[in-house]
Amino acid sequence: MTTFDERERGYESKFAHDEDLRFRAEARRNKALAEWAGAKLGLTGEALDAYVKDVRKADLLEKGDEDVIRKVKGDLDAKGIAVSDTEIRSFMAEALAKAVRDIESAKS
């Protein structure tokens, strides 16, 4: 095997690892977001679990975060709960950072 082949496999391995980390971190972020929004909506128990699943499904609609933001914002607006896009985005950023830290620390 040449050095080029080894380097290529190394990059492929890192890419796969990074994508796995991104997927798991975003899934945790979406769960935290759904729990946060669900608490504002007054959801508990099975209703909250179902809402977490709905938010996770919403993330599959399109690339990026806009589908999740639209889902949560729409649900909050429908109940007359005033939460800005900025507040949602801020919570998402904090939740994502925490998810990455948690995943990374679990490796240790």
**In the chain, what percentage of residues exceed pLDDT 70?**
88
Residue 76 half-sphere exposure toward CB, CA atoms < 13 A:
22
pLDDT in tens, 4-39: 677 777 667 666 666 778 889 999 999 999 999 999
pTM for the model stands at 0.83
- Going by C-alpha positions, the residue among 78, 99, 95, 98 that lies closest to residue 87 is 95
pLDDT at 2 over 80: no
Q: How many domains does the chain have?
A: 1
* pLDDT confidence band for 102 (50 / 70 / 90): very high
Per the listing, tokens 């945790």 go with 28
pLDDT at 83 over 70: yes
- CATH number for the domain including 100? 1.10.790.20
Q: What range does the domain containing 80 cover?
A: 3-107
